[in-house]
Amino acid sequence: MTFRAPVRDLAFALRHVAGFERLADAFPEADADTVDAVLEAAGLFASEVLAPINRAGDLTGARLENGVVRTAPGFAEAYKAFAEGGWTSLAAAPEHGGQGLPKTLEIAVLEMVQAANMAFGLCPMLSLGAIEALAHHGSERQKRLYLPRLVSGEWTGTMNLTEPQAGSDLGALTTLATPDDDGGYTLSGQKIFITWGDHDVADNILHLVLARTPGAPAGVKGISLFLAPKVLVDDSGSLGAANAVRVGGLEHKLGIHGSPTCVMLYEGAKAELVGELGQGLAHMFTMMNAARLQVGAQGVAIAERAYQQALDFSLERTQGRSAWTGAYPSRLFDHPDIRKTLVLMKARIEAARGVCLSTAVAADLANHAATEAERAAARLREELLTPIAKAWSTDIGVEVASQGVQVHGGMGFIEETGAAQHYRDARITPIYEGANGIQAIDLVGRKLMLGEGQAIGDLMDDMRDTLEALEAAGGALGGLALRFQAALDGASAATAWLIERRARAMPDALAGATAYLRLLGDTVGGWMLAKGALAEPVGLRLALARVYAETVLATVPGQVAGVTAGAGDLEAVTPEALGAH
């Protein structure tokens, strides 16, 4: 099955759904011709270089040989071509060797990279997060020494948070950073689940590591951020001796086999402080928030890849008699149930794509809009949408990949077809970079009251503006408005209940958090498709919006009960009642 980069769909989403035109003043160089050229070139690279080695990455995987990680066949050559193509530098600042283009365009490019080869795409994704963290919190020396090499792709970056006893609870981490005699630190400890923690595709790896210093307060207030290179670097940028950091093992994973996920052992490794002591978690969140949006785009990407394979299979496989023509044998595509499944898969992809790109536009505006008022409003929108972009889009990725297996039938359960790989690869995305339950807690516990409720209020107002446009258009769009209005009313009711309960009964609010994120994501996804239908009110865009409205938006009013059920029944349930011994 071949991969076709969704260049046209991305261009449509940027221009007609996400509001990319709002970036014109801040990024005059990102005109239509430039955007089209970047998307076309990235799509070509993804289709011709990355997609062909995706299957080998899954079958062969990364391997640890004599303490050195060897990547899957073709990965090192592909990474060299990726770096030489300047793909890591798209949105980086020109003073560090970057092209200064919008982050939104970077997200669009990375979606194609991840769809073509998710295991490969994780490497530059982590480097981009390291660039973000050092650009915001690094010293001038660190920016001079490390950023140009990360931006060029000459070196790569990692994010070291998790420890065996400390998963999402970072306050429990124990890795120790002890001051040395040269103004630096030595790191001692173990980190697990470190994506691309070691490899053979670049000359050096810059590890960003959370650790605590001797005597630091317990919990998250005692955490600081440190940089430890795999190979030591002098003040001229030249490589020296190996640092005291090594790979303790490779994780054996359900999917993304081509991505080396490492146990990292720091055994007195030389390191330097990034930013301020005690502010490590805040500094790392700069990297994590960028990564969360990129993981949301991964959800879209793997859904796109699974959908394309399912569509191709449905056109090749014959089975039964066509309900429309009576022809026998009939293509799978000519069965209404299969066709509806494919249309809904496509609709969910376009909805999630719109959510992620809209979040990216808000992020660009938060940093580059002309006035402080515009930047503040955009920042509220970015913060509100980020947990939805990450969690809802990755749930969509798993659902669409599962539907892809279903369209294949028994052939989907057989590894040789490749459909199973997409499902296995997709399953990690709701877990890493903050599990989706944590995203829901963040949405309800913090994001709903951003700006004293202004963020969610502004979002609801913007969605109702689109509802009015649908109603004014009439016809098929007017019919779409009925479902969208009911969903908006349901979202408003659930939001009001949560705001009231979080003020005096937080267990009730948190018990409904995951259901609320799903409800709000479904509604915002419908908004994205409605904007697409308004821009192109005939043909596919209208069909996608209508099928989504009748299949997904129609369920939103019923989802309110799942949000507002409260925690009373949960509090009464004991482990023994659930079968624990």
Enumerate the active-site residues: 433
* CB neighbour list of residue 467: distance below 8 Å, 6 or more residues apart: 481, 484, 485, 488, 530
Residue pair 422/306 in contact by the 8 Å Cβ criterion: yes
* CB neighbour list of residue 533: distance below 8 Å, 6 or more residues apart: 470, 477, 480, 541, 542, 544, 545, 546
- Joined together, the tokens standing for residue 185 give 């630190």
CA-closest candidate to residue 345, choices 255, 431, 427, 405: 405
Rg (CA), the chain: 24
Amino acid found at 348: R
How far, in Å, are 131, 168, 285, 410 from residue 171 at the CA level?
Answer: 24, 9, 14, 45
Sign of the C-alpha dihedral computed for residues 279, 223, 125 and 358 taken in this order: negative
Q: Report which DSSP code applies to 238.
A: -
Question: Can you spell out the DSSP letters for 265-315?
Answer: EEEEEEEEEES-TT-HHHHHHHHHHHHHHHHHHHHHHHHHHHHHHHHHHHH
- Helices 7-16/103-116 angle, 10° precision: 150
Omega cis (within 30) before 575: no
DSSP lists the bridge partners of residue 293 as none
CA-closest candidate to residue 124, choices 68, 63, 191, 42: 42
Strands 63-65 and 223-229: unpaired
The torsion angle over the Cα atoms of residues 115, 116, 120 and 121, rounded to 10 degrees, is: -40
Distance CA 240, CA 231 (A): 6
Residue pair 147/137 in contact by the 8 Å Cβ criterion: no
How far, in Å, are 121, 197, 405 from residue 84 at the CA level?
Answer: 15, 22, 36
DSSP lists the bridge partners of residue 510 as none
Distance CA 159, CA 164 (A): 15
Residue pair 247/178 in contact by the 8 Å Cβ criterion: no
